[in-house]
Structure 1
Amino acid sequence: MTATPPWDLLQTLLGVLREGSLSGAARVLGLTQPTVGRHVAALEAALGQPLFTRSPTGLLPTEAALALRGHAEQMETAAAALQRAASARGAAVSGTVRVTASEVVGIEVLAPVFATLRERHPGLVLELALSNRVQDLLRREADIAVRMTPPEQGQLIARRIGSIDIGLHAHPAYLDRCGRPASFADLAGHTLIGFDAVTPFIRAGAKRLGGITRDSFALRCDSDPAQLALIRAGAGIGVCQLPLARREPALERVLAAQFLWPLETWVAMHEDLRQNAACRAVFDALVDGLTRYVGA
């Protein structure tokens, strides 16, 4: 192969990898199935090797396809960043800005911030990528990030918001039914709600958990909003951000003196976006909204 494959072929490759079939990729990409087939065939011809094999469950990627995936995803990220940058040129607060945040912050905190931004700036298009994974701002996976760890990359503009404290909470109905624990030892007789996968973040904060491990949880889930829903439903005791719990009378804090986990919170963006009016407006709105949330 003597030339870089065209982006449209690699975009189709990603579609087939993600959907597992030509028809599925066609639906996602807005193409016809024959067009998707021709793109795959053209890429295979350019590479001189097959990218997929057929199976009863769909198309299985070959090692060559899997090797290309990471590079194609990098091109996808760059293409999306290019499109956002082109749409946000000029002094007007308009165009597309992509924000990444954790699930709970995005759902419970940023929704009203986004509503206000859209009301003030109708030309603004906002993308909210919810993930507990730290997305790379230098690679422009997002324009602005709300992070629970201090940014370590020197090319970022970052504003420290403060600490969002996490405590143990339960619905009063659950505590009336099962009792209010007076110590960590009492938790052994309760239904605990928590994580399934042990992440680096969990390992780093293990000492704060007072001996609570994955095996301690009767209800396990890696979705923070799902854990919060279980707490609200009276299913057991789990962690919740204190500013969020304070605005909900249905959540009661337990073991306040024994458990507190502060999460240092930052808003960060790439320094190249400093002169981008849309990114500046979103950055300032996030700082303001999160500052009010932390102080609530």
Structure 2
Amino acid sequence: MDWDKLRIFHAVADAGSLTHAGDALHLSQSAVSRQIRALEESLGTTLFHRHARGLILTEQGELLFDATSTMAKKLDAAAARIRDSEEEVFGELKVTTTVGFGTMWLAPRLVKLYDRYPDLKIDLLLEERVLDLPMREADVAIRMKEPAQADLIRKRLINIRMRLYATPEYIARAGRPERIEDMAKHRLICQNPATPQVQAGAQLTQSVMAHGVPSTLMVNNYFGVLQGVLNHIGVGVLPDYLTADFPYLERVLPAVESVEVPVFLAYPEELRSSRRVNAFRDFVQEEILAYRRAQTGDAAVD
């Protein structure tokens, strides 16, 4: 069914006159009349009774007017929401990041974002695979390396390192390693170096295991590694950002750590003006800044 003819029909039914509808639509009376006749022919029915006082809808015309009235209300509501979106943030936002960062750092903080924007709908995609942002597999990505895809806006958030951590209870029971060689007396909790992960973490794991670690617990993501550490199973290879939320974990072998790993936020150039994307970006940057200030104790961190 021709949308333009329906628009003209709705205007005529609403005005009760070809002339008045034509004035509202900036069309001649004859042009409006032709469109109505064409619509009636396509439907095989009469939509208006014509008499000297104007036009009255037939039963079939009333059915169609009910439908176009519903459509008009929905279009008006959509237009209003589009206008409101200049000030409001709502709708679906697909965010992708790694399992570790998503479960241990991002998800626990999202309540603050929802408090600010209660109508936001976040689809959080946690996986090590790099999703294709230009193809809109996700709207925003937080990755542990600079994205290589073209046409992306990218922002470096922070640098992290992989380090060794254990609970005070585990250290009290098993002793504190003083040298990396002492790991030969401890259980290591880590990801399998062959599984998809940040390369720096895999390299640190391999360097520790080279010193004769007798027992391991391997999990395919850092959230599982964290659970093993929190339950006093051994010494875990974990990213340093988790210390903000688990300050009671003790760092083991402070001289042993990975190289720096850059954390980037990225989104497609075409979403530069998206209120949802900008709200999420600003929220993450605020939380990163708060984390950095807490780590350094310096309120002047930029």
- Both proteins in one fold, TM over 0.5: yes
Map of 1:119 onto structure 2: 115
Cα deviation 1:248-283 (Å, max 9, x = unaligned): 243110111122442211111111101111111112
Alpha-carbon contact 2:188-2:236 (below 8 Å) kept: yes
Q: 1:189 is aligned with what amino acid?
A: K
Cα deviation 1:33-55 (Å, max 9, x = unaligned): xxxxxxxxxxxxxxxxxxxxxxx
Cα deviation 1:130-187 (Å, max 9, x = unaligned): 1122222122111001111011223111110121222100111111111111111111
- The whole-number CA distance in structure 2 between the counterparts of 1:139 and 1:172 is 47
Unaligned runs of 5+ in 2: 1-80, 295-302
- The whole-number CA distance in structure 2 between the counterparts of 1:202 and 1:248 is 21
Go from structure 1 to structure 2 and tell me whether the alpha carbon gap of 1:205 and 1:244 turns closer, same or farther (over 3 Å shift).
Answer: closer
Matches within 5 A, 1:62-77: none
Go from structure 1 to structure 2 and tell me whether the alpha carbon gap of 1:206 and 1:229 turns closer, same or farther (over 3 Å shift).
Answer: closer
TM-score, with length taken from structure 2: 0.62
Say whether residues 1:137 and 2:140 are aligned partners. no
Equivalent of 1:293 in 288, 291, 294: 291
Equivalent of 1:268 in 266, 269, 286: 266
TM-score, with length taken from structure 1: 0.64
Of 104-113 and 155-164, deviating more is 104-113
> What root-mean-square deviation, in Å, do the aligned CA atoms of Structure 1 and Structure 2 show?
2.5
Alpha-carbon contact 2:192-2:202 (below 8 Å) kept: no
Aligned length: 209
Matches within 5 A, 1:151-190: 151-190=147-186
Map of 2:98 onto structure 1: 102
Aligned-pair CA distance for 1:103: 1.9
Map of 2:228 onto structure 1: 230
Map of 1:251 onto structure 2: 249
- The whole-number CA distance in structure 2 between the counterparts of 1:181 and 1:137 is 44
- The whole-number CA distance in structure 2 between the counterparts of 1:158 and 1:143 is 12
- The whole-number CA distance in structure 2 between the counterparts of 1:165 and 1:204 is 8
Aligned-pair CA distance for 1:229: 0.5
Say whether residues 1:212 and 2:169 are aligned partners. no
Alpha-carbon contact 2:165-2:235 (below 8 Å) kept: yes
Alpha-carbon contact 1:163-1:294 (below 8 Å) kept: no
Of 194-203 and 136-145, deviating more is 194-203
Aligned-pair CA distance for 1:246: 4.8
Go from structure 1 to structure 2 and tell me whether the alpha carbon gap of 1:113 and 1:207 turns closer, same or farther (over 3 Å shift).
Answer: closer
- The whole-number CA distance in structure 2 between the counterparts of 1:131 and 1:295 is 29
Alpha-carbon contact 1:158-1:269 (below 8 Å) kept: yes
Identity of aligned residues (%): 33
Aligned-pair CA distance for 1:221: 1.0
Map of 2:23 onto structure 1: none
Q: 2:216 is aligned with what amino acid?
A: A
Of 173-182 and 281-290, deviating more is 281-290
- The whole-number CA distance in structure 2 between the counterparts of 1:253 and 1:261 is 16
Of 245-254 and 226-235, deviating more is 245-254
Q: 1:262 is aligned with what amino acid?
A: E
Q: 1:289 is aligned with what amino acid?
A: E
Of 151-160 and 198-207, deviating more is 198-207
